[in-house]
């Protein structure tokens, strides 16, 4: 009986620890913090294809409430990957994007940020004039804007963002807040812990 009680207590403690780490309801960034991040971005992106993003970042920060959000990405590849001189990775844009995707996973997970949906375009239906033919869409959950920008700066420090700029010809990125969603990382973690606990209970 003591074993069962310990087992349940351990599962509850693990879930509580996960919820604390996963966060999503933090404090907004201070004005000084926003200024520091914008200056770091300015130094990092000046003279690169990402330089126009500095103004976009300032606009996004104006809506910061410290809470979790999902960033929606639409991506169209270049016809050929465009690496700067000295980067001999070939000209396959999909391979370049895979390098970037592989590089960012540890940085995302370190900040409790996870991709929740990635899908390739599989056809056409309603088209609007001037809208690019996106190759895929991706939705990434960020714990907060603070984590989003610190993630972007960390990737810049590694130099791995070169793969992103080499791969992507056009992109549309904007934050969203779910109204109705069947995707809940917290729920899936709770279910997995419950299943493991039940299995260990049955084996006791």
| Axis-axis angle for helices 145-158, 31-45 (nearest 10) | 30
Average pLDDT over residues 178-197: 93
Residue 79: both structure tokens together: 């016809």
Structural domain range at position 179: 2-203
**Model confidence band, residue 128 (pLDDT cutoffs 50, 70, 90):** confident
Is pLDDT of 83 > 80? yes
Asked if 77 contacts 169 with a C-beta cutoff of 8 angstroms, the reply is yes
Q: Which two tokens stand for residue 31?
A: 């004005």
Burial class (CB in 10 A: 0-12, 13-18, 19+), 153: middle
Does 89 have pLDDT greater than 80? yes
Q: What is the pLDDT of residues 30-77, one digit of tens each?
A: 999 999 999 999 988 887 777 888 999 999 999 999 999 999 999 999
Give the Cα separation of 112 and 119 in Å (integer).
Answer: 21
Q: What is the pTM of this model?
A: 0.90
Length of the chain as a residue count? 204
pLDDT classification of 193: cutoffs 50, 70, 90? very high
Phi, psi dihedral angles at 88 (to 5 degrees): -95, 80
What's 109's domain CATH number? 3.30.70.100
The whole-number average pLDDT for the span 127-144 is 93
Q: Break the chain down into helix, strand, coil percent, rounded to 5.
A: 50, 15, 35
Contact 93/76 with Cβ under 8 angstroms?
no
Query: pLDDT at position 63, please?
Result: 95
- What digits encode the pLDDT tens for the residues 103-118? 999 999 999 999 999 9
Give the orientation angle of helix 53-61 with respect to helix 145-158, to 10 degrees: 150
If one counts every other C-beta atom within 10 angstroms of the C-beta of residue 67, the result is 16
Tell me how many domains the chain contains: 1
């Amino acid at each position: 009986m003591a074993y069962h009680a310990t087992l349940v207590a351990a599962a509850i403690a693990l879930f509580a620890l996960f919820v604390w780490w996963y966060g999503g309801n933090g404090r907004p960034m201070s004005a000084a913090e926003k200024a520091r991040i914008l200056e770091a971005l300015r130094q990092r992106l000046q003279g690169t294809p990402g330089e126009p993003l500095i103004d976009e970042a300032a606009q996004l920060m104006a809506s910061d409430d410290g809470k979790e959000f999902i960033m929606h990405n639409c991506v169209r590849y270049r016809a050929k990957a465009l690496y700067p001189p000295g980067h001999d990775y070939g000209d396959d844009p999909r391979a370049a994007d895979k390098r970037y995707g592989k590089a960012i996973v540890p940085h995302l997970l370190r900040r409790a940020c996870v991709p929740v949906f990635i899908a390739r375009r599989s056809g056409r239906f309603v088209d609007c004039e001037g809208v690019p033919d996106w190759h895929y869409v991706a939705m990434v959950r960020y714990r907060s804007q603070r984590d989003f920008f610190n993630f972007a700066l960390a990737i810049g420090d590694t130099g791995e963002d070169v793969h992103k700029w080499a791969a992507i010809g056009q992109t549309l990125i904007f934050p969203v807040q779910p109204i109705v969603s069947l995707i809940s990382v917290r729920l899936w973690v709770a279910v997995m812990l419950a299943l493991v606990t039940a299995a260990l209970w049955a084996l006791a």
